[in-house]
Chain A
Amino acid sequence: GDSVTQMEGPVTLSEEAFLTINCTYTATGYPSLFWYVQYPGEGLQLLLKATKADDKGSNKGFEATYRKETTSFHLEKGSVQVSDSAVYFCALSDQGGSYIPTFGRGTSLIVHP
Chain B
Amino acid sequence: SAVISQKPSRDICQRGTSLTIQCQVDSQVTMMFWYRQQPGQSLTLIATANQGSEATYESGFVIDKFPISRPNLTFSTLTVSNMSPEDSSIYLCSVEWDSRDEQYFGPGTRLTVT
Binding site for B on A (CB under 8 A): 32, 34, 36, 41-46, 49, 51, 89, 93, 95, 99-101, 103-106
Given contacts A34-B102, A44-B105, A103-B43, 6 further A-B contacts (CB under 8 A): A32-B101, A89-B42, A95-B101, A99-B101, A101-B103, A106-B41
- In the docked arrangement, what's the CA distance between A110 and B105, Å? 23
Contacts of B106 in A (CB 8 A): 43
B interface residue count range (under 10 / 10 to 19 / 20 to 34 / 35 or more) = 10 to 19
B107 within 8 A of A: yes
CB of A43 within 8 A of CB of B102, answer: no
Contacts of A99 in B (CB 8 A): 96, 101
B92 within 8 A of A: yes
- In the docked arrangement, what's the CA distance between A34 and B11, Å? 31
Q: B6, B41, B94: which contacts A105 (Cβ < 8 A)? A: B41
CB of A103 within 8 A of CB of B42, answer: yes
CB of B42 within 8 A of CB of A104, answer: yes
Contacts of A51 in B (CB 8 A): 101
CB of A89 within 8 A of CB of B43, answer: yes
Say how far B90's CB is from chain A's closest CB, in angstroms: 9
CB of A42 within 8 A of CB of B101, answer: no
